Amino acid sequence: MFLKGKSAIITGSTSGIGLAYAKALAAEGCAVMINGFGDANAIEQERAGLEALSGAKALYDAADMSKPDQIAAMVARAQSELGGADILISNAGIQHVAPVDEFPPEKWDAIIAINLSSTFHLMRAAIPAMKAKKWGRIITTASAHSLVASPNKAAYVAAKHGIAGLTKTVALETAIHGITVNCISPGYVWTPLVENQIPDTMKARGLTREQVMNDVLLAAQPTKQFVHPEQVAALALFLCRDEAASITGANYAMDGGWTAA
């Protein structure tokens, strides 16, 4: 358990990729603070499971990632109850799809706030304690859309390109403090959110399940395979190791070859 004695904040971690991050860290003895929305009983079950897995504390914080004051309060709580956030994984995100001339301004504002600005507020609050310890790991979940664009996703693509730039900038600023800052850019990941979109797409387009998966969702991924949350989490776990101390400012594509062209 190489993360015993360490603690982590993972945002957007009540399901999907974020929960996979939390489980991977907890399995190595890390105390974790999860965050996100969902059914209270289901969240408590996951929290208790993480505590049993790690043998350390596991906390849940309901901070809204669009609210800077709540983000600051969550980081302060991690400091007081977990001894800080040695590892920060910024993963919360939302999506809206529409042509730019029809894109609701309030949706743009919400996506930029949650997908991009929240990461700035998290870093700003968490880095002082990392500097004091001379050790820290910051990992941001970007997307293949941090490297390439798709139509009708102006806010999402702008936010993810912004995450890639923010990651590189903060990596340079913290390089002499024992802190690494990297982002992981997955393609389509097999999560409940993606799986639940399939029936509606089948109905709307008159396609079979296999056609939706291969010709719609996986059209851009040469492997024709979904990325799995556990694969993303395994890379994040490696980036927390001492062997990864010289890896900073990197953007790791994990997209089945989507961005290779």
What is the pLDDT, as a whole number, of residue 169? 98
CATH code (residue 149):
3.40.50.720
> 260 is written with which tokens?
């290779």
pLDDT, mean of residues 48-65: 98
Domain that holds residue 207: 190-226
What is the pLDDT, as a whole number, of residue 261? 77
143 with 211, same domain: the answer is no
Is residue 165 one of the residues assigned to a domain? yes
What is the pLDDT, as a whole number, of residue 171? 99
What is the pLDDT, as a whole number, of residue 103? 97
178 with 216, same domain: the answer is no
What's the Cα-to-Cα distance from 65 to each of 7, 34, 158, 186, 198, rounded to whole Å?
Answer: 20, 13, 18, 21, 28
26 with 88, same domain: the answer is yes
Helices 105-112 and 154-174 pack at an angle, to 10 degrees, of 20
Is residue 1 one of the residues assigned to a domain? no
Point out the catalytic residue in the list 60, 156, 188, 252: 156
Model pLDDT for residues 131-155, shown as the tens digit of each residue:
999 999 999 999 999 999 999 999 9
Cβ count near 157 (within 10 Å): 20
Would residue 156 show up in a list of annotated catalytic residues for this protein? yes
Question: Is the model's pTM score more than 0.75?
Answer: yes
What's the Cα-to-Cα distance from 66 to each of 10, 117, 145, 162, rounded to whole Å?
Answer: 15, 8, 21, 16
Dmax (CA) for the chain in angstroms is 58
Model pLDDT for residues 4-30, shown as the tens digit of each residue:
999 999 999 999 999 999 999 999 999
What average pLDDT does the structure give for the chain?
Answer: 96
196 with 123, same domain: the answer is no
CA geometry: angle 41, 42, 44, nearest 5 deg: 65
Model pLDDT for residues 106-125, shown as the tens digit of each residue:
999 999 999 999 999 999 99
99 with 197, same domain: the answer is no
Beta strands (DSSP E) in the chain are: 7-10, 31-35, 58-61, 87-90, 136-141, 179-186, 251-254
The tokens 């979109």 sit on which residue? Answer: 197
Exposure b/e, 172-182, CB count within 10 A at least 16 = b = eebeeeebbbb
Confidence of residue 200 (pLDDT cuts 50, 70, 90): confident
212 with 251, same domain: the answer is no
105 with 220, same domain: the answer is no
Is residue 180 one of the residues assigned to a domain? yes
Which residue(s) pair with 7 in the sheet? 31
Is residue 2 one of the residues assigned to a domain? no
